[in-house]
Structure 1
Amino acid sequence: MIFDGHNDLLARLWMSSHRDPVDQFLHHTLEGQMDLRRCRQGRMYGGLFAIFVPPLKYVKTHASHKLTSMAHSQADFTIAQRHDICTAQIDYALEIEYRSQGAVKICRDIADIHLCMKNQCLAMVLHLEGAEALTNVSQLDDWYAKGLRSVGLLWNEPSQFGHGLQGKFPHSPDTGLGLTDLGQQWVVECEKRRMLVDVSHMNEQAFWHTQQLLTQPIVATHSNIHKLCPQARNLLDSQLNAIKVSHGVVGLNFDTAFLRADGQRNIQTPYSVMFAHFDYLFEYLGETGVAFGSDYDGGFMSKYWPSVDYFPRLIDALSDYGYSDIRIANICHKNWYTVLHRIWASLNK
């Protein structure tokens, strides 16, 4: 069984032109890379489901029907609009759970996840990718009450919480200043609530700010190796060492642009390119620090892993490559369970 560290299904549902995208997800084939049928075919029975505000330019290109209530000339989403978009995605998750007749559950603790795996129910852990929509902790508490258990304070753009991670390929993760004072305060607030704090979209300085503040494991839900693919978002050896010391986890991103040495989105990318990143992660993090963080419905995939139903082929390829059954089980689900249990069960100091 698979527990995957990152997907953008909820943003895809929000942008969908289907009259009833929840029904499409539950009972039909949804455009993109995942729906319930393909999750079952791929033996994916859990994961972190991102709540994410796509860039306005992307929405105008791919989901112009969502712009009817927005000013045509706005340069970017307002905070209120961001909040509405995130709330709509949370509502999609709640509606999926309600209408699935027990096939999908929003998980708030590790016992929920174990129950889902036992019953082969899809375990959804809600994750906020970019917290620009939040202006006060009462809003965070409201979303927590609805099931939010994981937060990435930053996306690529500057916000009230920190500076951006944009950088033309190739580029180091050092893209400027890190977390603002407010951002540092919110890292502490998230840990107080026993929420996973994701560093996958933090620049180098923001990463080290977070590392200094957290007492719980550091987690990168969907990141790869900078030495093998010098994207600004990929991790340096020093960051990997810090994650290991914290007993954290890195979920490997399947997007070919974050795997290939040339940084290209190339459908012909072979397994060997991905496996080089796995090997490197195991060398630095050991057996308990490596997992899946696919970025399905948010990334450009190879023809060898184009959608979530291809997970069994990937597992077979890892076995043929020489990975043991124990290592594969750790990647597939055990390492995510362990780190989530550590974070959710830990008492804030």
Structure 2
Amino acid sequence: MTNVPVFDGHNDFLLRLQKQPGNRDTIWLKGDGTGQLDLPRMQAGGFAGGFFAVWCPSPEHEGDSHYDDDWKNPPYDVPLPEALSLEYALPIAVAEIGHLMWMERTGTLSICRSVADIRQAMAEGRIAAILHMEGAEAIGTDLDALHVWHAAGLRSLGPVWSRPTAFGHGVPFRFPSSPDTGDGLTAAGKDLIRECNALKIMVDLSHLNEKGFNDVAAISDAPLVATHSNAHAVSPTARNLTDRQLRMIAESNGMVGLNYACSFLRPDGRQDTDTGFDVMLRHLDHLISILGEDRVGLGSDFDGAEIPAPLGDVAGLPRLIEALRAHGYGEALVEKLGYRNWLALLERTWGC
């Protein structure tokens, strides 16, 4: 069977470039063998495009290596970093968006503002990139910067990463735990959701806690979307979605992208790459049982997570596609999971 193109819900590749800006030609165009993404491996794996996240690391937790021991030995409850100031986050966000624009200038990638743009990039062999912001620290509460980022191509935004922002509260890295871990959106956060709706910027729920999720559901007139989240019924970590949340997403005609992070896949919550495709399939089965076949996709978290060894990196995507087929998913469903559902969701959200 032919390889199925994959449109992916989340990656952190821009942070890799931000850490080594002088080496970006080698990292992106040639591939230096590090990380999980680069252009040659994307092309080899059938990675057609996806959401490229702008994310600002906390200065005291650069690299976040302090989490590793906790995640390998559940139960755990990792303290969250402090909120970032706008003044700190703004230049990092600008630099990361600059890296994505440089990637576009190489002729290998297109920053897409519509589904028509995505289809054209895929047809012409360029990576189709959606500019996404993971945590709105680079936006002030007056929301002026939101309009600047929208003009630069921003079409997807998560109000929080796990640490708090002026707009709301994320879930902690806690296992086992429900996502009901604190307060919901602030007044500024509710304004942010309304403005995203007005600008047709997709709102990503993947890091919001349960009360924040409920607030978005009550305010938003767009489909509810979690770009890189899994089923709490399979792995009871705070980051995963309960069946109640999944039903709300289904009722809104929204979507969930499967996160490949081992600690969010495994029932024991361990960050252990000795993890097979079987647990990924358990999550997909559960998600499909509630959301249906038209509202589930892939949301790897490439370059932001420890992922199952059988997958390895983006070049391993054909092995995942074959695992879907071997599991009994028909070709129509495999194509929906691979890319068709994301494109349909974006048409519903953006209207173009």
TM-score, L = length of structure 2: 0.91
SS of residue matched to 2:62: helix
What is the aligned-residue identity percentage? 39
- 1:50 aligns with 53
**Aligned counterpart for 1:242 among listed residues 248, 255, 268:** 248
Give distance in 1, aligned partners of 2:317 and 2:230. Answer: 18
- 2:164 aligns with 158
Give distance in 1, aligned partners of 2:82 and 2:331. Answer: 50
Instruction: Evaluate the alpha carbon distance shift between residue 2 and residue 60 of structure 1 in structure 2; reply closer, same or farther with a 3 A threshold.
Output: closer
Q: After the TM superposition, which residues 118-197 of structure 1 pair with which residues of structure 2 at under 5 Å, given as runs? A: 118-135=123-140, 136-197=142-203
The structural deviation recorded for 1:223 is 0.2
- 1:108 aligns with 113
Give distance in 2, aligned partners of 1:10 and 1:313. Answer: 25
- 1:82 aligns with 89
- Whether contact under 8 Å (2:228, 2:300) holds in the other structure is yes
Cα-to-partner distance string for 1:217-272 (whole Å, 9 max, x where unaligned): 10000000111111101001110000001110100000000000110011110111
Q: After the TM superposition, which residues 93-104 of structure 1 pair with which residues of structure 2 at under 5 Å, given as runs? A: 93-98=100-105, 100-101=106-107, 103-104=108-109
2:218 aligned partner, one-letter code: Q
Q: After the TM superposition, which residues 223-234 of structure 1 pair with which residues of structure 2 at under 5 Å, given as runs? A: 223-234=229-240
Give distance in 2, aligned partners of 1:173 and 1:59. Answer: 25
- Whether contact under 8 Å (1:167, 1:175) holds in the other structure is no
SS of residue matched to 2:52: strand
Give distance in 2, aligned partners of 1:214 and 1:273. Answer: 32
Q: CA RMSD in A?
A: 1.6
SS of residue matched to 1:232: coil
Q: After the TM superposition, which residues 33-48 of structure 1 pair with which residues of structure 2 at under 5 Å, given as runs? A: 33-48=36-51
Verify: 1:15 aligned to 2:19, yes or no. Answer: yes
The structural deviation recorded for 1:81 is 1.6
2:131 aligned partner, one-letter code: L
Give distance in 2, aligned partners of 1:24 and 1:133. Answer: 26
Instruction: Evaluate the alpha carbon distance shift between residue 176 and residue 109 of structure 1 in structure 2; reply closer, same or farther with a 3 A threshold.
Output: same
Q: After the TM superposition, which residues 278-293 of structure 1 pair with which residues of structure 2 at under 5 Å, given as runs? A: 278-293=284-299
The structural deviation recorded for 1:167 is 4.7
- Whether contact under 8 Å (2:205, 2:227) holds in the other structure is yes
The structural deviation recorded for 1:158 is 1.4
Verify: 1:26 aligned to 2:32, yes or no. Answer: no
Instruction: Evaluate the alpha carbon distance shift between residue 118 and residue 281 of structure 1 in structure 2; reply closer, same or farther with a 3 A threshold.
Output: same
Verify: 1:313 aligned to 2:316, yes or no. Answer: no
- 1:117 aligns with 122
**Aligned counterpart for 1:326 among listed residues 317, 323, 332:** 332
- Whether contact under 8 Å (1:22, 1:92) holds in the other structure is no
Instruction: Evaluate the alpha carbon distance shift between residue 23 and residue 131 of structure 1 in structure 2; reply closer, same or farther with a 3 A threshold.
Output: same
Verify: 1:263 aligned to 2:269, yes or no. Answer: yes
* Alignment: residue pair count: 332
- 2:76 aligns with none
- Whether contact under 8 Å (2:84, 2:165) holds in the other structure is no
2:94 aligned partner, one-letter code: T
Stretches of structure 2 that go unaligned for 5 or more consecutive residues are 66-80
SS of residue matched to 1:184: helix
The structural deviation recorded for 1:298 is 0.3
Cα-to-partner distance string for 1:116-166 (whole Å, 9 max, x where unaligned): 111121001010000012103221111111111000001111111012311
1:134 aligned partner, one-letter code: I
Stretches of structure 1 that go unaligned for 5 or more consecutive residues are 63-73
2:58 aligned partner, one-letter code: P
